[in-house]
Structure 1
Amino acid sequence: MRKSKKIVLGLAFLIVFSLLFNIVLPKAKAMTVEEILAKIAQLQQQIAQLQKQLSAIQKPAVWCHNFNRNLRYGDAGPEVKALQIALEKEGFYKMEPNQPSYFDEKVASAVTGFQEKYRNEILTPWGLKYGTGFVGRTTRAKLNALYGCGVVQKSECQRNGGVCINFLAECKKGYQESSFSCKYKNEKCCVPVKKSIKVISPNGGEKWVQGNTYLIKWQVKGIRENLNIYLYREYGDNKRSLTLIAGGLSPEVTHYSWTIPSYQPTEGKYKISVRTESYGGMFSPHTEGFEDESDGYFSIVAQEVSECTDSDGGKDYYTKGTVTDEGKTYADYCIDSSTLREYFCLEKTAGGLGGVAEEDYACPYGCESGACKPGITVLSPNGGEEWSFGTLQTITWSSKGIDKVNIYLWFPDGATCLLTKDIPAANESYTLTIQENQQCSNIEKQITPGQYKIAIWSEEPAMDIAAPHDYSDSYFSIGKQKSITILSPNGGEEWFLGNTYEIKWNSSGFEKVHIDIIDGSKNTAYTLASELSASEGKFSWKIGSQWPELSAGDKYKIRVISYPFPASGEWEEGVNYDVSDNYFSISQPVKGITVLSPNGGEEWKIGNTYTIKWDSSGYDSSASVQIGLRDTRYDPNLAEGEAAIVNTTNTGSYTWTIPSEIGVMKLGAGNVYKVVIYIEGGGIPQKYDVSDSLFSIKKGITVLQPNGGEIWEKGDAAAIENIDHRAMIKWKVNGIFAEDTNFAVIKLKKGNEVVRVIGAVPIYPPWDSPDHSWQIWSVPQDIEPGDNYKIEIIPVISETSGQWSTDMKEVVGGIGDESDNYFSIVTQVQEVSSVGLKEIENQLAFISQVISRLAGQIKELLKR
């Protein structure tokens, strides 16, 4: 230690001296360049000498240990710790922080590597090729030879034939720097450069067949010179020959594919020689270059009939097979995760030749355990397709290595509906028809319009995720069967210019349609309407009222097309478009008028408003129209038999609020009325039309209040003068006269059930307002609260007197009424007394005082 200190002090002195020499001395005396360089060289020499002495003194402590007992899996303690250290020094083990001294699988694996590294000394004496992981006698002997105490231990570099030099120096010629460690940190390892050639195949014992192709393989180390390959042959009476197979090969090449000529002699024995170009010929002295030849002889034989057998029957990429030929066995294996090396027997040639061949096959679904993995790919439907219920559809797929498949319809919620099973995978297609609401056979689900995928599995059940399977990439749709069928006009109809007709069709599976009219005489189509709702099923068309301007003719058809239009090449009649089956005609109009509404069977009510409609042909909108009402119980020539409603123009409709009477004609009867419409204009004699059948105009009552949304409280009654009170019943009388001695029966309904007859009052009570009748009702306490009440009022007549009685009957031709919507009946809300309010106010004031007092106390505490 003292010596070490002296050396360090010496180094320090030299450094200080050098500083003084470079800084101070020049001030005292100028030195020549030669003197300065001499001083520097002297200092460098002294520093190098001191570094050498320091390295010798500061040698690291060499670790050693004597291994005196056998060690095995499961042992623990200092002996195992020492074993771990030795194995780490050998590069077979890595010590972790706080590594436990335990003989585990990791230690056993490292021991195995150590034993195989020193196989000749450890394993060969026992006749073993591979390490055992057990530290026995020969293993301990090698450990002690390397790391035993008292043994002069060589560094890793020395054990591998290298020499250690200063890390600043260069390796001498013939040596190269290595990663092997030296004893000292400031040293590096230099090992001899080893140049070599090693023939790998053929290396003795092989039988190569004329005409076949084989790989000649070798290894090269440290050589940068091109290579030549020779075939060496010994035959006859000590005869030899050397034939060049290939020359000028790069030293980077490690194999050569050689097809043995069919004329290559089979007599004799052969070796392969791989040598550098500078090595020379066969019999010349070899002072330069490198060469290696097969360790043993191989033979070249004539082609024979192959007795080759293949367990998988040939090129079966999806079954791991073994090929046996001439006593040798070749097993299929995976070169990598996607490539299979497949062995198979060659077919016999005309000459009876065969043998073993190999092929590298790219597995579509990956390679595993010596065979391609089976797989399935759904091709169609694969997303975006539109299927229709009841139509024939085809599912297609591709598959490899699979016998049969099961096909499912996959719901978005993950459910799988079995469509079919045990279909040969090689078919790669399946045709089926799916019906709307079809019941799945394997789950409680029905197939309804929606989005789906096809799932194809190699076996049941579908939930076995390990089985080969595939889904459609995206969703496709299944919906109602698409169709368009024209109903009218469909051929033979005669339509008139200026009249309005309905074009009708049936459709399914489309949202919108487009309508054309086709003029067959010109082979031209004109648009009538576009983007119509397909589900509407009809379009009202007034011929000639707008473009196109059509002329009379008998070669017209209607065409209805799905919108947006089908793509080119996808038009299919009856599916996405339809045309009238035959021609219909468009003719000049015959002037006339037709009553459209009321046209028979209607029940109209006095006081309500209705629309009278008609259609005319041959008249313009300025024509004069007179609308009248006929009571068929009387002669139409009498005032009671026909009365005028209005004189107007030819607009096609008139809105009429029905009065109680028209002139002397009193209204209010069932199925006795018809509307008559007269038209005149353009110099054409007057024409008219009447309703085809009878309709009714009835007397009646209209409930005004409650009519929906009101809230009545039980026990609530209104003063007579308060006519707007919420518990008031109001109604209006339509067409009922005083001489009918009429009454109104008022009923309370809950839902559709009458729960209380409130009573009967005169239809015209003495307290009537100018525009309605009314009655006050106090809601009894026994009425159940609810929000589904209505008031119903029915007109009745007493046959005995002008007073209310139980023998009242409904007025002939009269119509009752009920509230349009529900109103509510609730329990009466109790008001809060002024005394109770005062008490609440006092309590709130007291609470406020307490809170203020507490706040003051908190402030005082905070000040302290």
Structure 2
Amino acid sequence: MQIFKKYPFYVLFTSTLFFSGCPEILDIFPPEVEILSPTNNEEIGQVFTLILSASDNDQIKDIDVIVYQSDSSLVSLKMTEEPWSANFSMQTIGEHRIEVIVTDLVGNFKKIELDIYIKQYFGGDGEINVNSPTFGDSWVAGSTHNISWGSTNVSGNIGIELYKDDIYYNRISNSSANDGSYSWNIPIDIPSGDNYQVAVYSLNDLSLGDFSEYFSISSSSVNSITVSSPDGGESWVLGSTQDITWSSTNVSGYIGIQLYSGDSYVNSISSSSANDGVFSWNIPSTLTLGDDYRVRIYSTSDSDIQDYSNSYFSITSSQGGDPPNDNCNIPHSTTGTTFTYVNPEQNIYNFGDTYTAGLYSSLYSVGQQGGAVLRLNGNTVYDFGSWLVFNSDGSYDFTLPAQSSEIVPSNCYTMVIIGYNLQDEYVSEPFTIY
């Protein structure tokens, strides 16, 4: 018997492999990009240059740059060739974000961002000029001071910022009326320093603005009030409206304002007002003219915290100058016996002011009287009319006439009330109209 042995059987196929038109290896690598200038959180001016460094393993197609404020896109541009830089001239200030997107030929991209703060640079005084603070002023943290400025042909509101060592520190006011004054409550935690400035600028035209001179801010725990105006030498007119201003340190709650003549209390201007550094005072036309007035400002929660005007100020008439001081010749006097003429405390008036006359009797009511006239040195120069009905308290408000050829500035006027019988006369003390 023949034995067959099994052997493995192999078939070898050989062929030649041909590679024709094999595609490139897929590019999955994004470009690289770096912002060289400005740097993150840098404070820069409104005109600046963005400088980038960008590279790719093949080729960069383009670079998009977008500048945002909050979530609003302000400026966008596209760069397609080196150098990777661009100049910007911004019309806004404050916090901004720069977004850079670099893309290569096959669509790979990389996005980076940085934050910047654009601050105002003014090319001179422009049309706004800061008057206060001035060089050498020392303001106390926690106190209230007026920032003041003047402007010409500036429409709309203004913004106010604080700078320290020529670097933006914080915002004082985002938007304030362009009325020449802003009452600033200085934060109690602001660092002491002597290189502070405030910038006041137009929100409608950021090229218009001005920096104050350098001033200092110091810390203090003293409770104080300081009257700024009137502080002596001012001349305020009866019937006008004037701002009483002050600063305070560590004073909470409200303040009161009082008027003094010399050392004598006259009246309360305000018993309770916000401690915001300014109070608009409508000066009563009934105040007596004088040159020895002062105001007292005090804390309503602690009246020992107070201050007076450093010196006297004047309250004058609208005519200006000193009242007349003529030698009077007044031949007529009171002839009636039923009533007593009640002279007002005020004895100096302007033309057109209100003069309040009064008659008094313990037995009779005044009621209706025959009339009233104005006399100058005994001569009648104005007739107020006949059959005048007086108030229940015996008073009557007369409007003094305007100046004329017969009615001239003088201290020799008298008011004459004609009695009901058309014979009795009740004559005032001489008073001044000018």
TM-score, normalised with respect to structure 2: 0.40
Structure index of larger Rg: 1
More helix by share: 1
The one of the two structures with greater contact order (alpha-carbon pairs below 8 A, sep at least 6) is 2
TM-score, normalised with respect to structure 1: 0.23
